[in-house]
Amino acid sequence: MDLRNKVALVTGGSSGIGRGIAETLLASGSRVAITGRNQSRLNATASAIGAHPVQADVSRQTDAARTIQEVLDKFGNLDILINNAGSGVFKPLVEMDLDGFQRTFATNVTGAFLMAREAARHFIARKQGDIVNIGSTASLRGAANGTAYYASKFALRGMTECWRAELRKHNIRVFLVNPSEVITSFGTAAGFQQKDHPSKLRPEDIAHAVKSMLEMNDRGFVPELTVFATNPVD
Ligand SMILES: NC(=O)c1ccc[n+]([C@@H]2O[C@H](COP(=O)([O-])OP(=O)(O)OC[C@H]3O[C@@H](n4cnc5c(N)ncnc54)[C@H](OP(=O)(O)O)[C@@H]3O)[C@@H](O)[C@H]2O)c1
């Protein structure tokens, strides 16, 4: 796909990996809308990078439908959905509270489903479109304290495979990108400190991977890509 003049929607584009992807797509000539719940951070990012802000919570059905409509109203089209919005609660099983579990699934699973459903209705009608789900290496294997977050990313990987099976016949490509640790605000939002080091992944590394996958000719696609830091130092 030639990214010039394509329309991309990046959920959770106000921060971290989503912001990095939005910036890279803008630099490639795409028109980009970004979402987030926090209006002031969303507006600050949008004006800093030149994206269109849509304040919305992916886990709310009405917000998901409104987001796609606002993008269509603004740009007249949608070519790419980046399902990036995500958060995590990390606790041992015996301390995991129902609210934290449900919040994690609401954004990472229900939110991704709602956004993909709205986008896919548009893509099927046009017989083209790309959906990129931002999973995690947590999509691939379990770990201690992973009851909510890891399970939600397994579910996202499962939905990715289901959507791919359904949507290929409509010329819609569905990708999964699994970053390992990336230095963003994710840890702070989840209540832990990420130790920064120059050897660790940055949002632009994930953005580079996403851009490369999208730019491949539409006759083919790379279904899943996992990105590790070569030699991360803690
Ligand atoms: N950082 C890592 O090490 C890492 C590794 C693997 C995978 N990932 C995945 O990468 C994605 C991006 O994470 P990040 O590291 O860039 O984290 P981040 O810097 O905390 O960014 C998360 C973004 O998602 C938005 N968001 C969260 N919940 C939302 C909701 N319900 N509706 C709409 N927007 C929502 C946030 O904005 P608001 O809070 O204002 O809504 C923010 O823009 C996530 O899916 C995460 O699981 C991260």
Output the CA 219–ligand 1 centroid distance in Å: 30
The reported pLDDT for the residue numbered 128 is 97
In a domain, 54, yes or no: yes
Write the pLDDT tens digit of every residue in 37-93: 999 999 999 999 999 999 999 999 999 999 999 999 999 999 999 999 999 999 999
Contact partners, residue 138, CB within 8 Å, separation at least 6? 146, 149, 150, 153, 154
Output the CA 192–ligand 1 centroid distance in Å: 14
In a domain, 187, yes or no: yes
In a domain, 202, yes or no: yes
Output the CA 83–ligand 1 centroid distance in Å: 10
In a domain, 233, yes or no: no
Can 150 be counted among the known catalytic residues?
no
In a domain, 2, yes or no: no
pTM of the predicted structure, to 2 decimals: 0.98
Catalytic residue (choose from 113, 149, 154, 175): 149
In a domain, 140, yes or no: yes
Output the CA 186–ligand 1 centroid distance in Å: 6
Write the pLDDT tens digit of every residue in 154-174: 999 999 999 999 999 999 999
Write the pLDDT tens digit of every residue in 94-123: 999 999 999 999 999 999 999 999 999 999
Provide the domain count of the chain.
1
Residue with the smallest CA separation from ligand 1 atom 15 is 186
CB-ligand 1 contact for 20 (6 Å cutoff): no
In a domain, 158, yes or no: yes
CB-ligand 1 contact for 18 (6 Å cutoff): yes
Q: What is the CATH number of the domain that holds 94?
A: 3.40.50.720
In a domain, 48, yes or no: yes
Site to probe by mutation for ligand 1, drawn from 37, 45, 200, 224 as the one with most ligand atoms within 8 Å of Cβ, is: 37
- When the pLDDT of each residue in the chain is averaged and rounded to a whole number, the result is 98
- Structural domain range at position 144: 7-227
The reported pLDDT for the residue numbered 81 is 99
